Amino acid sequence: MKFKVIFCWIFTVSFLLLGCKGETKPTEMTVAILTTADLQSHIVPFKTTINGVDIIVGGFERIAAAAKRVRSEVDVSLLLSSGDDLIPPLLYVFKGEPEVKGLSMAGYDVVAPGNHEFDAGVEVYKHALGFADFDVVSANISFDDQDLNDLIKPYVIKDINGLKIGIFGLMTPDFSRVCNPPGGGVSVNVDYISAAESAVQKLEDQGCDIIIALTHIGTMLDRNLASTVDGIDIIVGGHSHEYIYEVVGNTIIVQDGSKGEYLGVLRFVYSNGEIKDPSWETILLDSTVGCDTTIRNVMNQYMAAYDESLGQAIGTTTVALEARKEVIRTGESNLGNLIADSWLEWFGEADVALVNSGSIRGDKVYPAGAITMRTANEMLPFRNEVIIARMSGAQLKQVLEISASALRITGDECPDSCRASTGGFMQIGNLKVTIDTTKAPFCAVYSGKGVSEVLNYGERIVDMKVLKDGSWVDVDSTQIYTVLVNDWTASGGDGYYMFVSGDVEIEHTTVVATDILSNYIRLHSPISPEIEGRIAFLPR
């Protein structure tokens, strides 16, 4: 009996010391959670402007170098991505191979897919994951393809030096509005809260010390997640392209912008079952962080091939496409119609599309024939995000009055500084507008992108009709319309002050106008956009 007691005591002490994995678990560990979000196929360093200074940042070569240094300083580390790492046009050309290979080479541990991963379809993303050496998680997404259901798990558990970290993923519940994957085959559970609760419960049941939500749902929903679901220690967010470090309840929320300009680093001490002394740092990925030359060489090969591929046709047009400034900034253009229609097809629930002519470039007539990716990027070089705005018919009329003020008429008595710039003239979709340029234009005193005084709300829009169920009907001043604009317009650019006044509901989509146009051309080629009388003028 005495032998049995001694044996049991020795076994119990050994079990407590070694843990369930048979290894010693330190009582205190330094931990670093390294993050990127919304890389958007920026696989190599690129030029950007930060705090008014032009600088070269980013790329997998620098992410890897910076992550390696941080990892060497702590006991436990994870490199995580919250999605939108793949995006056209690079996604169209290589089907996700360089992005996923770069994530693997840089040492990512867990990745959550974003909506843009599916811009080229489910099969393309499945192909891309063939190059993955990391786990992919999303608890509210499912596929018709069982292989993808097996590849993308609701959650994973990482046991690092005896510390069990559970990570689950979430996809934006707005997936169907911001992504239109060719061929379908993917579904998203919009009840992300119940999906999270289920994942957290399973991770707690398996004894995880720390639970991380790796989300692509945006900051507002991250905050709701933190305040609603107990048991989440850290939320690593994406989709909003913001810089976030905050604590909601007992949950830390972080997000590190987009495109890989910075590497986010959440450091803390894990001691006695608690996260202690958390600190958040964003490391600028400039030349000072060094680079992984092996990754640089591999990614540069892809970029060289990509530059060559830009000259390949993505479709054809049977008619010339009008992009001359004197045309698109003063009246209807068939290229403007094409762009507006591409937006309306992508966002099927929208009522109206408004494309500021200043975003359409080239200042020439693009001839009939082949359209290349390079041409599409020349037409829409700014890669503006398309924004969903909700406004009344009266507000829509005010937008169109500002558009009509872009037309300079001798003697109309409004200074250039008090009206829309010439590039603010709108190309339109699902609308018919009649303009009388003999009437007074919109005119206001601007203060930044807001207005301090409206001198004249404008009288030039004499008729507006919207396409509803195949028929043209008058715009109702009291009805709420879903209107598509780009992020420049939504930021108050060209004088569109109402978008920054707080009176118009704004929703980001993260979908780029250039990519929507390229996709539309691919799907509908040969294209033949026409002048359809969308913008008419009363005779002077």
308 and 353 in contact (C-beta within 8 Å)? no
Q: How far apart are CA 110 and CA 474, in angstroms?
A: 52
pLDDT of residue 88: 85
CB 218 within 8 A of CB 172: yes
- Kindly write down the DSSP assignment for every residue of 365-422, as one continuous string: EEPSEEEEHHHHHHHSTT-PEEEEEEEEHHHHHHHHHHHHHTS--TT----GGGS--G
Say yes or no to pLDDT of 89 above 90.
Answer: no
CB 190 within 8 A of CB 173: yes
Task: Return d(Cα 510, Cα 15) in angstroms, integer.
Answer: 50
pLDDT for 510 equals 87
CA dihedral 108, 109, 115, 117 (to 10 degrees): 60
Strands 163-171 vs 155-160: parallel, antiparallel or unpaired: antiparallel
For residues 493-516, give the mean pLDDT: 93
CA–CA gap between residue 538 and residue 313 (Å, rounded): 40
Banded pLDDT at 339 (limits 50, 70, 90): very high
Interatomic CA distance for residues 532 and 380, integer angstroms: 22
What residues contact residue 331 under an 8 Å CB cut-off, 6+ apart? 535, 537
Please check the confidence at residue 377 and state whether its pLDDT lies above 50.
yes
- The secondary structure of 67-113, three-state, reads HHHHHCCCCEEEEEECCCCCCCCHHHHHCCHHHHHHHHHHCCCEECC
Q: How far apart are the two ends of the chain, measured CA to CA in Å?
A: 112
H or E element that contains 464: strand 461-468
Alpha-carbon span 266 to 256, nearest angstrom: 11
Q: How far is CA 504 from the centre of its chain?
A: 21
Alpha helices for 107-157 (secondary structure H)? 122-129, 146-151
What is the set of domains in the chain, with CATH numbers? 32-307 (3.60.21.10), 313-537 (3.90.780.10)
Task: Report the SS3 class of residue 300.
Answer: helix
Which residues are CB-neighbours of 147 under 8 A, at least 6 positions away? Answer: 126
Is the pLDDT assigned to residue 16 strictly greater than 80?
no
d(CA 456, CA 423): 20
Decide if pLDDT at 12 tops 80.
no
Does 9 have pLDDT greater than 50? Answer: no
Helices 293-309, 97-106: inter-axial angle, 10-degree rounding = 170
**Which pLDDT score is estimated for 540?**
82
pLDDT at 293 over 50: yes
Confidence of residue 142 (pLDDT cuts 50, 70, 90): very high
Percent of the chain with pLDDT over 90: 86
Over residues 80-109, mean pLDDT: 95
Q: Is the separation of the CB atoms in 408 and 420 below 8 Å?
A: no
Mean model confidence pLDDT for the chain: 93
286 and 55 in contact (C-beta within 8 Å)? yes
Q: What span, in angstroms and rounded, lies between the C-alpha atoms of 115 and 174?
A: 9
Band of pLDDT at residue 19, cut at 50, 70 and 90: very low
